[in-house]
Amino acid sequence: MKTFGEHAVVIGASMAGLLAARALINHFHSVTVLERDRLADTDRPRKGVPQGRHAHGLLARGRVVIEDFFPGWTDEVVASGGLLGDIGGDVDWVGHNVRLKSGPSDLIGLLAPRPALETHVRRRLAAMPGVTLIDGCSVDGLLVADGGQRICGVRAQAGGELPRAIKADLVVDAGGRGSTSPAWLKALDYELPSEDRIEIGAGYTTRSYRRKPTDLGGRLAVVIAGSAPNWRNGVILAQSEDRWIVSVGGYFGDHAPDNDEGFADYVGTLPVPDIYQIVMTAEPLSEFMTYRYAANLRRRYEKLTRFPEGYLVFGDAFCSFNPVYGQGMTVAAQEARALDECLQRGNRDLARRFFRAAGAIVDIPWNIAVGNDLRHPKVEGERPAMVRFINWYIGKLHLAARHDPHLTTAFLHVANLMAQPPSLLKPSIVARVMKGNLFRPSIDAGVRVPSRAF
CB 56 within 8 A of CB 45: no
Q: How far does CA 257 lie from the centroid of its chain?
A: 24
Specify whether the CB–CB gap between 57 and 235 falls below 8 A.
Answer: yes
Of the candidates 244, 324, 240, 327, the residue with the CA atom closest to the CA atom of residue 60? 327
pLDDT of residue 2: 57
What's the pLDDT at 347? 86
Q: What confidence tens digit (pLDDT) does each residue in 428-444 have?
A: 999 999 999 987 655 43
Higher pLDDT, 161 or 206: 206
From the number of C-beta atoms within 10 Å of its C-beta (0-12, 13-18, 19+), residue 332 rates as: buried
Please give the pLDDT value at position 428: 98
What local confidence, expressed as pLDDT, does residue 449 receive?
A: 33
Report how far residue 438's alpha carbon sits from residue 393's, in angstroms, rounded to the nearest whole number: 14
Cα 21 to Cα 296: distance, rounded to the nearest angstrom: 25
User: Which pLDDT score is estimated for 159?
Assistant: 81
DSSP secondary structure, 19-52, as one string: HHHHHHTTTEEEEEEE-SS---SSS---TT-GGG
The residue type at 279: V
Q: CA 173 → CA 9, 84, 312, 331, distances in Å?
A: 9, 32, 6, 15
Of the candidates 250, 378, 365, 387, the residue with the CA atom closest to the CA atom of residue 319: 365
pLDDT(419) > 50: yes
Which CATH entry fits the domain spanning 5-56+114-194+300-369: 3.20.20.70, 2.60.40.10, 3.40.50.1000, 3.50.50.60? 3.50.50.60
- pLDDT tier, 160 (very low <50, low <70, confident <90, very high otherwise): confident
Radius of gyration of the chain (CA): 23
In what helix (H) or strand (E) does residue 224 lie, and over which residues does it extend?
strand 221-224
Cβ atoms < 10 Å from Cβ of 411: 22
Q: What is the pLDDT of residues 41-65, one digit of tens each?
A: 666 665 556 666 789 889 999 999 9
| Identity of the residue numbered 239 | Q
Is the pLDDT score of 360 beyond 50? yes
Please tell me whether residue 246 adopts helix, strand or coil conformation. strand
User: Is pLDDT at 454 greater than 50 in this prediction?
Assistant: no
**Region 336-351 average pLDDT:** 95
Confidence check: pLDDT of 234 > 90: yes
Mean pLDDT value across the chain: 93
Mean pLDDT of 320-349: 94
Whether 182 has a pLDDT exceeding 70, the answer reads yes
Q: What is residue 218's DSSP assignment?
A: G
Q: Is the pLDDT of residue 447 over 70?
A: no
- Is 445's pLDDT higher than 60? no
DSSP string, 110-121: EE--HHHHHHHH
Cα 10 from Cα 338, distance rounded (Å): 16
Predicted local distance difference test score (pLDDT) of residue 161: 84
What is the tens place of the pLDDT at every residue in 280-306?
999 999 999 999 999 999 999 999 999
Q: Judge whether residue 354 has pLDDT over 50.
A: yes
Question: Is pLDDT above 50 for 72?
Answer: yes
Give pTM, 2 decimals: 0.93
| Strands (DSSP E) found in 274-325 | 289-299, 311-313, 319-320
* Total residues belonging to the chain: 454
Average pLDDT over residues 348-359: 96
Q: Which of 442, 452, 431 is nearest to 402 (CA)?
A: 442
Q: Is the pLDDT of residue 89 over 90?
A: yes
Percentage of the chain lying above the pLDDT 90 cut = 88
DSSP 178-234: T-SHHHHHHHTTPPPPPEEEEEEEEEEEEEEEE--TTGGGG-SEEEE---TTT--EE
Question: 8 falls in which pLDDT band (50, 70, 90)?
Answer: very high
Q: What is the pLDDT of residue 444?
A: 37
151 Cβ contact partners less than 8 Å away, ≥ 6 residues apart: 142, 143, 144, 145, 168, 171, 308, 309, 310, 311
pLDDT (0 to 100) of residue 377: 96
367-381 pLDDT, tens digit each: 999 999 999 999 999
Degrees to nearest 5, angle at CA 170 with 165 and 175: 80
